[in-house]
């Protein structure tokens, strides 16, 4: 157990809030003006985390906050009194007891994805499959190649998506074109680090763990999700020039090469964050193994 004196954890708390507010400043300004953004709104709607929640710092497990017993955080979920009078700790054991299925799922997804070899031949075609042979689309932006040109790109490629939460938004005509039929139940066996959406979901797992993950690490995961989201939409079939987004033309050899190079870099960042989350949450003494219940002992 690491003990943080009050001055030290309050300093980290303030630094975290400043960093989080800087990361969300443009989103908060757009929201105040009533403006929508086809790239960045996703980070706050799909993951359903408000800027105020992002600005709330947590120490993670294995840390005792000295002189914190009278703070508002004493009433936060998963916090408990520490051994030292007036201190607080994050009660990760209570999380396991009260949320066993979620705890098991998060650990499985983080460990198995990090252990699996990455695949780098999808070229972001999941977004193209979401508009394939359809007159109405999920996003109101025009298609860069038009409908027929977009359909032709899909027809010319082998769809190799491994991420169920992208696959489930395929159009009915595109679903049978994917090399593999994906299901929610099989997601832990399909997820792999080369997938952009699996990389963004590192942030999802961090926020689901809440106070069990240090705030600084949660924001690192958000920054990865932000950077991946940009490539995801740069490689999408939409014309986003009005929003200052230059396309990565994955229908060309040059575009494919750029996409894969950036995809590989994101896979490395994602795996590093997966290991950091597991280490902060479970510690280094788990040996990477799961008990019979799926929860590290």
Q: What is the DSSP letter of 42?
A: H
Residue range 203-214: mean pLDDT, rounded: 97
Residue range(s) defining the domain that contains residue 14: 2-286
Q: Between β-strands 2-4 and 63-65, what pairing exists: parallel, antiparallel or unpaired?
A: parallel
Task: Using a pLDDT cut of 70, give the percent of the chain over it.
Answer: 95
Confidence of residue 291 (pLDDT cuts 50, 70, 90): very low
Say if 167 falls within a structural domain: yes
pLDDT at residue 1 tops 60: yes
Say if 91 falls within a structural domain: yes
Domain count, the chain: 1
pTM, rounded to two decimals: 0.93
Q: Between β-strands 88-90 and 63-65, what pairing exists: parallel, antiparallel or unpaired?
A: antiparallel
* Tokens at 191, concatenated: 């997820």
What tens digit of pLDDT does each residue of 145-177 get? 999 999 999 999 999 999 999 999 999 999 999
Tell me, what's the pLDDT at 91? 94
Say if 227 falls within a structural domain: yes
What tens digit of pLDDT does each residue of 22-63 get? 999 999 999 999 999 999 999 999 998 999 999 999 999 999
Residue range 268-283: mean pLDDT, rounded: 96
Strand order in the sheet with 79-81: 2-4, 63-65, 88-90, 79-81
pLDDT at residue 293 tops 50: no
Confidence of residue 135 (pLDDT cuts 50, 70, 90): confident
* Tokens at 16, concatenated: 């975290």
Tell me, what's the pLDDT at 139? 80
* Nearest alpha carbon to residue 196 among 119, 137, 139: 119
* Nearest alpha carbon to residue 107 among 274, 292, 225, 287: 274
Tell me, what's the pLDDT at 48? 87
What tens digit of pLDDT does each residue of 80-109 get? 999 999 999 999 999 999 999 999 999 999
Of the CA atoms within 13 Å of residue 154, those in its CB half-sphere come to 29
Say if 297 falls within a structural domain: no
Say if 296 falls within a structural domain: no
pLDDT at residue 289 tops 50: no
Say if 23 falls within a structural domain: yes
Say if 177 falls within a structural domain: yes
Confidence of residue 202 (pLDDT cuts 50, 70, 90): very high
Say if 291 falls within a structural domain: no
**Rg over CA atoms, the chain:** 21
Region class of 81: left (phi > 0), else alpha (psi between -120 and 50), else beta: beta
* Tokens at 275, concatenated: 């290991």
pLDDT at residue 290 tops 50: no
Residue range 247-276: mean pLDDT, rounded: 98
Average pLDDT taken over every residue of the chain: 93
Tell me, what's the pLDDT at 140? 86
């Amino acid at each position: 157990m690491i003990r943080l004196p009050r001055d030290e954890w309050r300093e980290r708390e303030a630094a975290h809030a400043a960093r989080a507010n800087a990361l969300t400043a443009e989103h908060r300004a757009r929201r105040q003006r009533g403006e929508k953004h086809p790239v960045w709104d996703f980070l706050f709607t799909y993951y359903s985390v408000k800027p105020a929640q992002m600005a709330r710092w947590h120490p993670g497990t294995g840390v005792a906050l000295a002189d914190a017993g009278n703070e508002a955080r004493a009433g936060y979920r998963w916090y408990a009194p520490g051994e030292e009078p007036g201190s607080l700790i994050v009660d990760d054991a209570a999380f396991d007891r009260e949320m066993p299925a979620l705890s098991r799922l998060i650990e499985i997804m983080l460990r198995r994805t990090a252990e699996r070899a990455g695949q780098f031949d999808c070229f972001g075609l999941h977004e193209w499959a979401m508009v394939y042979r359809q007159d109405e689309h999920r996003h109101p932006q025009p298609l860069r190649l038009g409908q027929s040109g977009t359909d032709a790109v899909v027809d010319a490629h082998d769809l190799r998506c491994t991420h169920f939460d992208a696959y489930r938004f395929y159009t009915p005509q595109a679903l049978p074109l994917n090399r593999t039929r994906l299901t929610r139940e099989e997601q832990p066996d399909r997820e792999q680090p080369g997938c952009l959406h699996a990389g963004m979901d590192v942030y999802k797992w961090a926020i689901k763990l809440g106070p069990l993950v240090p705030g600084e690490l949660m924001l690192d995961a958000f920054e990865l999700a932000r950077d991946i989201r940009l490539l995801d939409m740069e490689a999408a079939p939409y014309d986003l020039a009005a929003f200052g987004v230059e396309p990565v033309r994955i229908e060309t050899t040059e575009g494919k090469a750029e996409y894969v190079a950036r995809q590989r870099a994101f896979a490395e960042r994602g795996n590093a964050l997966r290991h950091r989350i597991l280490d902060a949450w479970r510690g280094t003494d788990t040996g990477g193994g799961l008990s019979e219940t799926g929860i590290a002992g």
